[in-house]
Every structure is written in C-alpha cells, then in structure tokens.
Amino acid sequence: MMSELLIAHRAPEARIAVRAGAPIGAGQFVADATALARQLPPARYVLNSCRDRYLFAVGFCAALIAGRTSLLPPSRTPEILAQLALRYPDTVYLADEAGGIVALSGTAAPTHWQPKQPNTNASAWPPPAIAREHVAAIAFTSGSTGEPQAQLKTWGGVVDGARAEALALQLDEAPIDDVVLIGTVSPQHMYGFESTVLMALHGPCAFAAEHPLHPDEVRAVTTQSSGRRVLITAPVHLRALVESAQSMPALDRVVSATAPLALELAQRCESMWSTRVFEVYGCTETGMVATRRTVDGPVWTTMRDVRIEVCGGEFHAYGGHVRPGPLADRLRPITDSTFELEGRAGDVVNIGGKRASLEGLNRLLLSIDGVIDGAIFEPPAVTDSTREQRLMALVVAPNITRAELLAALRAQIDAAFLPRPLLRVDSLPRNAQGKLPKAELLAVAERALGSTRRQPKTSRTVARAGDARVD
C-alpha cells in the first residue's frame, strides 16, 4: 500500500505556519494534530468549519491520522451546515472557539481541544504516513450554477496537486522554507484548501493562520509575516485592495482564482506592489488544471502531466493529479497543454436572435468607473409570459445613478443585452471566495424587485429592502 507523509517538512523546527507573525514549527503542528486525533469522538466524517487556518489544518490532519474523511462545506451558513449534517449523519462537527476547537457529535459529549502555544516544547516527529488511496476529503461545488455537488478527493491526489501547483507557480525555487502563504479565501473552498493549506503542507512552506478579508486586515497580516509573501486571493478581493489604495509590504507574487481576472487589474497590482500576478484555472470536480501570468497574455499552460482533449464536443482534463472529467468552460486549444479560455459552457445568452457572453457583459459592467461590484445574469424564465426574456443586473455603485449606469452600458453593448431591470444594491451575496451562489443571488434580486414594486412610480427616493437598495 503506497502512502505519503502527513507533511513534507524535513525537520520539526521547520516553519509550517505563522500566527500574528510568530512561527509555528512542523513538530508542534504534528503534535497538535496527533493530540486532536486521539480526542475525536467516533464518526466516519469530520465536518471542518474552522475559520482559523491553523485550526482548520490541524483538524484536517487529525482526521487523516484517525482514518476519517473531512467534509469541506461550500459555506459556513447554518443552512448549509444543517444540510450536510442531514446528508452525512455519522459526522463530528469541528468549529473554532476561544482559540481552540470544539468537536460535537450526536453520540458523544462535546470535546474541547486547545492547541499548545508555539513557545512550548511540545513536538512530535516524524510525521505519520497516510495511505494514498484514503478519501481525505469530500469537497462541494460552490452552488453558483445550482445545487452543490459532492466531489471525493484522495490523499494521494491532493498531495500530487499541491506539488504540481508549487511547481507551476515557481514556488519550488530555493529557499522554499522562506515562503509564507496569506489567504483571503477560505480553507473549505477547493482553491483555498489546495493553495493555502495543502501547498503549505507539501510545498513545503508556511501559511498564515489568519483569514483576512478587508484591505486593512490583509495589510496587517502581510506586514507581520516575514519571508517571501505570497497572497492567495480572488479578483473581488484584489479589486477592493487596489481601490483602497492601501500601501502594501513587498509581495513576492499574487495568485488569483475563482473568476477571470481583468488584465487591467492585474497590471495595476503588479505596478502598485512591484510583484507578479498569476492565475490558477481549475474546478472542484477536477482540481487545478492550468496557470498563467495574466500580463503575459491569454494563454494558459497546464500543470505537470495534465492534458486537454476534446471529447464529444466537451473539453476534458486528464493526466497528472487531476480527476479526469469534463470542464465547465469553452476552450480554444492551442496544443494539448496550452489553451485560451472562451467562457463558461452555459455562458452564451441568445436574445432577439443575438448572442453574447455573460462573462463579457460582466467584465464591461465592472469596468465602469464607480462600480464597486455587480452581476448581469438571466433571471428564472417566466413560463406564462409572452414577452421575450431579458437580462437582469444587480450593481453596487453608491455614487452613480441607474440612468448613468445604463448610459455607460449602452455605449458598449447592444441594446438587446441591456439589463432590465438594473437594480442598485448595497452588496452582493458573494461567498468567501468571491463567488455568487445562484440561490442567494436570486434571493437578493427578489427582495430588490419587491422594493421597487412598493415604490410609487413618480418617486425618485431611495428605498431599502433587506440588504438591497434600489432607485
């Protein structure tokens, strides 16, 4: 039976994490994971909702040591967690509490576990080995295109993926132990799981325990982290950082995923922070597939041993660490290891006999000065209506009127694709990865529409409906 060590760090004193800038050694980490593994109540699954990245990693590795499988919830909302508890009843639930972990199950009393402080002598070495075929985690699709779907991930597969990503991002350059990964994305999402936890465990490098979101939080965590700082993030978080005009400490590189990154935004990041910006392309179903440096052009290069083929009109990834399967995007293959992205497979809309890409329309919307966030999308079809379906938009732009937004769009797109209605809202329901789950997006749209229906037609005042603000 083939196996892989829990972590790839070569010595117990090697830095595996930092908290508030203080290093945590690999031996300390193994000791913490081993201690928690002994205290886990009996269950087949471990639902890990820890926000703190160090506690999440300890919980994940404790589950591995105990022979369990981790469930990675697509979000931490009570509704999602309750759904998973019903779907997987034989489950231990892990959550952060007062700097430690609380383990809950239906068959045992709550277990409270507190990690040792980094300045203690607690250490365990060498790290244990885990069978490659063990199902280490079950990840779930984001729900941005429908109901979240479960995807099984073996230990060998995720370890191979972490090594391939480090190689593709050129993080294998010495000294690797000087790298610290700082993530604005959650460790439960497949991208955050692979790029801020697994790549640290098998890079091997270190990760910051904190999960900063707002620009001032990102700057604080980055400032207190020494070494080659690598920011693992998403376009929505990068846009907020750039717009905040916050000064940033030196960044060795920036890695972005979960949505297409605009060339102009990548150029601004590289210019402002004297860094290099890379993108990772992949999906929960297959794992990471390819990378590119955004400013170098639109061509993506697959990761080590990964190839692309066309099969039955679909594009499939296979080889290397990926789980073979179809991709949800349209590609323009150049070779079997290079390609350009043309958009989501279901991205093209047809209105009045004209076609357009939703991704392209959203890119134009977000390029309008003063637009902080926004989404153009197809609302659910009205079956009893004789009118042709129109697009809809929710826009966060507090200093721009609806008329100004429509005028800016009208100058760039065909009138058939102008969103009607276009509603200004306070915020979009993006998850920690910057994605818009379909159900939450439609719920905000419905509340915003309800508010406009209650407005007198002659009114030019601003109404509020939950988290929505509309003209």
Q: Answer for the pair 289, 303: CB distance below 8 angstroms, yes or no.
A: yes
Q: Which residues contact 438 (CB under 8 A, 6 or more apart)?
A: 143, 144, 145, 146
Q: DSSP character for 120?
A: S
* Domain end position, chosen among 343, 367, 383: 343
Handedness of CA 437, 260, 281, 196 (dihedral sign): negative
- Report the pLDDT value the prediction gives residue 278, as an integer from 0 to 100: 97
Residues 197 and 113 in one domain: yes
Q: Report how far residue 386's alpha carbon sits from residue 285's, in angstroms, rounded to the nearest whole number.
A: 38
Per-residue pLDDT band at 105 (split at 50, 70, 90): confident
CA-based R_g, the chain, Å:
23
Among 343, 360, 394, residue at a domain's last position: 343
Distance CA 263, CA 240 (A): 16
pTM to 2 decimals? 0.80
Same domain as 319, residue 402: no
Report the distance separating Cα 128 and Cα 114, nearest Å: 21
Pair 96, 193 in one domain: yes
| Tens-digit pLDDT profile for residues 114-173 | 887 766 677 899 999 999 999 999 998 765 555 678 899 999 999 999 999 999 999 877
Q: Do 325 and 441 have their domain in common?
A: no
| 353 burial type by CB count under 10 A (0-12 exposed, 13-18 middle, 19+ buried) | exposed
Residues 324 and 194 in one domain: yes
Convert the pLDDT of each residue in 54-88 to its tens digit.
Answer: 999 999 999 999 999 999 987 777 878 888 888 99
Is residue 119 located within the same domain as residue 132? yes
Identity of the amino acid at 13: E
Same-domain status, 327 and 400: no
User: Where is the domain boundary, 278, 309, 343?
Assistant: 343
Let me know whether 108 and 202 are in one domain.
yes
Assess whether 73 and 195 both reside in one domain. Answer: yes
CA nearest to 292, candidates 325, 320, 257: 257
| Beta bridge partners of residue 128, listed in sequence order | none
Q: Check which CATH number belongs to the domain holding 265 and give it.
A: 3.40.50.12780
Q: What DSSP designation does 4 have? A: E
Same domain, 360 and 296: no
Query: How much is the pLDDT for 471?
Result: 32
The answer to whether 282 and 256 have CB atoms below 8 angstroms apart is no
Please indicate, yes or no, whether residues 448 and 336 belong to a single structural domain of this protein: no
**What CATH number is associated with residue 382?**
3.30.300.30
Same domain, 411 and 328: no
Looking at the structure of the chain, the number of domains it has is: 2
For 324, the domain range is 3-343
pLDDT tens column, 258-305: 888 889 899 999 999 999 999 999 988 899 999 999 999 999 999 999
| pLDDT digit string, tens, across residues 348-382 | 777 766 777 788 888 889 888 888 889 998 887 65
Q: Which pLDDT value is given to residue 455? A: 57
Q: Which residue has the tokens 């690598």?
A: 230
| Cβ–Cβ < 8 Å for 105, 91 | yes
- Nearest-10 crossing angle of helices 53-65, 26-39: 60
Residue environment code for 236-253, b if the CB has 16+ CB neighbours within 10 A, otherwise e: bbbbbbbeeebebeebbb
